[in-house]
């Protein structure tokens, strides 16, 4: 039984009790209504956010797919362009090597032509003439030096273009590598799902990284690389066509000049042989004339000795007849005959001496001229030997040309800028 001393509780009235019950019921109903509204709004929000999330994810996947397609398309464009650049570099390098070989091949003709000029400088006397052979040889030297200069310029130009192509190829390779990396990243992102094990929240993922570009800049960058590559390949193709055409033209000019020089050399050799034969005939004829002249001189001298004996006889007779005595020292017919004989003999001896002197002088002149002709014949034979050595030296050019023809065709293929036809220029 409770103690009567405990403090009693606060008693409420029935109306307070009823009011309290009503308030509790109203509050409970209100809270249930608010809860119901919140639940309905939550369900609506869940549905809307689920649809929005799925749509955003689907749209992102679509955008990623489109981006992957764009990157893959540009990757194929860059790969094709890089392959074409590689092919053009290989072709240009081959053409450059051919030009370098043509440049190296001019060393032998220049050496041969210079040697021919040096050989022909060994001519002496009147054989050292500035003839058409000298003119052709000097023209050939000038042509070869010009050919070397032109080929060297083309080689340098091809080397510079190869450097440009290499730089373009490097840019394409860097762009292609970036495209491949970006494609791998986008493909990786496209393969991710909410169930992927490596997804996580990141710090400030919506930031704009430094160095970012706009889609327009992205497209323009690759377009610029491709356009620059095509421009470099067009320039390279033009350089190759120029080199091929120039090599063919210069080869034709060298061949034409070589034939002109050899024709002049053979013609000069023929003229030298004719001159030598003519001089040999002149020497032979002069020697025959000298022999006859010596015989005639001996004859004149013998006649002169004979006439001197006759003069002695006449003188002796005249002198002896001066010893006739007195009236018998008569100027008779004998005396007149002897005087006339002496006068005639003296005139004859004077004429024979004069003719003998002339004959001896003529013989001396012929001997002197014969000596000069022998000297000139020696120079002509030496000059002819030098001409023959020059011809033999130039035979190296024909041998070199035959070797080159075995290694390469006689036609030089040329491609026009359109690439629709191949031109062929005969190397004659």
Determine the Cα–Cα distance for residues 283 and 274; give it in Å rounded to an integer. Answer: 14
Higher pLDDT, 147 or 121: 147
Determine the Cα–Cα distance for residues 280 and 264; give it in Å rounded to an integer. Answer: 24
Calculate the alpha carbon distances from 225 to 146, 180, 286, 292, 370 in Å: 38, 16, 89, 98, 86
Tens of pLDDT along 320-378?
A: 888 888 777 787 888 888 889 889 988 988 998 898 899 999 999 999 999 999 999 89
What is the token pair recorded at 206? 């919506």
DSSP tag of 408: S
Number of folded domains that form the chain: 1
Residue 230 burial (10 A CB sphere; 0-12, 13-18, 19+): middle
Q: Sign of the C-alpha dihedral, residues 353, 354, 356, 360? A: positive
Mean pLDDT of 170-174: 95
State the pLDDT confidence band at 420, using cuts at 50, 70 and 90.
very low
pTM check: above 0.85:
no
Tens of pLDDT along 264-278?
A: 999 988 998 999 999
Tens of pLDDT along 223-250?
A: 999 999 999 999 999 999 999 999 999 9
Q: Lowest-pLDDT range, 54-68, 93-107, 237-251?
A: 54-68
Mean pLDDT of 392-416: 56
Asked whether residue 322 is assigned to any structural domain, the reply reads: no
Q: How many CB atoms lie within 10 A of CB 119?
A: 16
Asked whether residue 327 is assigned to any structural domain, the reply reads: no
- Looking at residue 92, its pLDDT comes to 95
Calculate the alpha carbon distances from 383 to 86, 119, 128, 264, 387 in Å: 58, 9, 8, 15, 6
DSSP helix/strand/coil, 3: coil
Q: Lowest-pLDDT range, 129-143, 274-288, 384-398?
A: 384-398
State the pLDDT confidence band at 403, using cuts at 50, 70 and 90.
low
Asked whether residue 331 is assigned to any structural domain, the reply reads: no
Over pLDDT 90: what percentage of the chain? Answer: 52
Rounded-to-5 percentages of helix, strand, coil across the chain: 85, 0, 15
Determine the Cα–Cα distance for residues 93 and 125; give it in Å rounded to an integer. Answer: 53
What residue has token string 């006759």?
310
Q: Under a CB-based contact definition with an 8 Å cutoff, are residues 162 and 96 in contact?
A: yes
Q: Under a CB-based contact definition with an 8 Å cutoff, are residues 315 and 339 in contact?
A: no
- Looking at residue 411, its pLDDT comes to 34
- Looking at residue 352, its pLDDT comes to 87
Asked whether residue 9 is assigned to any structural domain, the reply reads: no
- Looking at residue 312, its pLDDT comes to 87
Higher pLDDT, 7 or 56: 56
Q: Under a CB-based contact definition with an 8 Å cutoff, are residues 161 and 235 in contact?
A: yes
- Looking at residue 398, its pLDDT comes to 77
- Looking at residue 171, its pLDDT comes to 95
Measured N-to-C along each axis, helices 132-191 and 215-321 cross at an angle, to the nearest 10 degrees, of: 170
Q: Under a CB-based contact definition with an 8 Å cutoff, are residues 265 and 133 in contact?
A: yes
Asked whether residue 226 is assigned to any structural domain, the reply reads: yes
What residue has token string 């009503």?
22
- Looking at residue 407, its pLDDT comes to 47
Calculate the alpha carbon distances from 116 to 175, 188, 230, 261 in Å: 59, 76, 49, 11
- Looking at residue 400, its pLDDT comes to 61
Q: Lowest-pLDDT range, 86-95, 150-159, 261-270?
A: 261-270
Asked whether residue 153 is assigned to any structural domain, the reply reads: yes
Angle at 247 between CA 244 and CA 253, to 5 degrees: 140
Determine the Cα–Cα distance for residues 357 and 15; give it in Å rounded to an integer. Answer: 195
Tens of pLDDT along 274-308?
A: 999 999 999 999 999 999 999 999 998 999 898 88
Asked whether residue 409 is assigned to any structural domain, the reply reads: no
- Looking at residue 426, its pLDDT comes to 30
- Looking at residue 408, its pLDDT comes to 44
Q: Tell me the residue range of the domain where 46 lies.
A: 24-193+218-292+377-399
Asked whether residue 250 is assigned to any structural domain, the reply reads: yes
Mean pLDDT of 217-228: 93
DSSP helix/strand/coil, 422: strand
Determine the Cα–Cα distance for residues 149 and 236; give it in Å rounded to an integer. Answer: 20
Asked whether residue 413 carries a pLDDT value surpassing 60, the answer given is no
Mean model confidence pLDDT for the chain: 86
State the pLDDT confidence band at 121, using cuts at 50, 70 and 90.
confident
DSSP helix/strand/coil, 51: helix
Mean pLDDT of 178-207: 86
Q: Under a CB-based contact definition with an 8 Å cutoff, are residues 301 and 360 in contact?
A: no
């Amino acid at each position: 039984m409770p103690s009567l001393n405990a403090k009693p509780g606060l008693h409420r009235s029935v109306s307070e009790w009823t009011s309290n019950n009503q308030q509790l019921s109203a509050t409970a109903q209100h809270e249930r209504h608010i809860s119901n509204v919140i639940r309905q709004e939550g369900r609506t929000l869940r549905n809307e956010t689920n649809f929005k999330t799925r749509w955003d994810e689907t749209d992102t996947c679509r955008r990623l797919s489109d981006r992957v397609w764009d990157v893959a398309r540009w990757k194929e464009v860059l790969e094709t362009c890089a392959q074409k650049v590689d092919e053009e570099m290989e072709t240009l390098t081959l053409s450059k090597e051919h030009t370098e070989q043509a440049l190296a091949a001019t060393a032998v003709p220049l050496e041969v032509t210079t040697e021919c000029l040096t050989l022909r400088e060994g001519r002496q006397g009147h054989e050292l003439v500035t003839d058409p052979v000298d003119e052709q040889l000097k023209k050939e030297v000038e042509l070869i030096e010009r050919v070397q200069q032109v080929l060297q310029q083309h080689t340098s130009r091809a080397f510079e273009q190869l450097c440009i192509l290499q730089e373009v190829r490097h840019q394409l390779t860097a762009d292609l590598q970036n495209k491949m990396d970006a494609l791998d990243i986008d493909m990786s992102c496209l393969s991710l799902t909410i169930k992927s094990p490596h997804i996580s929240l990141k710090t400030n993922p919506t930031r704009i990284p430094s160095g970012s570009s706009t889609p327009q800049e992205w497209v323009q960058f690759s377009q610029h690389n491709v356009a620059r590559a095509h421009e470099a390949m067009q320039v390279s193709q033009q350089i190759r066509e120029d080199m091929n055409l120039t090599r063919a033209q210069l080869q034709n000019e060298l061949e034409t000049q070589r034939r002109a020089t050899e024709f002049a050399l053979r013609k000069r050799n023929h003229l030298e042989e004719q001159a030598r034969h003519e001089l040999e005939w002149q020497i032979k004829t002069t020697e025959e004339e000298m022999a006859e002249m010596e015989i005639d001189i001996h004859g004149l001298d013998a006649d002169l000795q004979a006439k001197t004996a006759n003069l002695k006889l006449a003188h002796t007779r005249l002198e002896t007849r001066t010893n006739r005595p007195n009236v018998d020292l008569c100027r008779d017919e004998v005396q007149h005959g002897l005087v006339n004989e002496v006068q005639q003999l003296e005139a004859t001896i004077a004429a024979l001496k004069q003719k003998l002197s002339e004959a001896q002088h003529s013989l001396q002149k012929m001997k002197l001229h014969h000596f000069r002709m022998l000297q000139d014949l020696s120079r002509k034979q030496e000059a002819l030997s030098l001409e023959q050595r020059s011809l033999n030296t130039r035979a190296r050019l024909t041998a070199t040309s035959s070797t080159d023809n075995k290694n390469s065709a006689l036609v030089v293929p040329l491609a026009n800028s359109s690439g629709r036809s191949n031109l062929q220029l005969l190397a004659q």
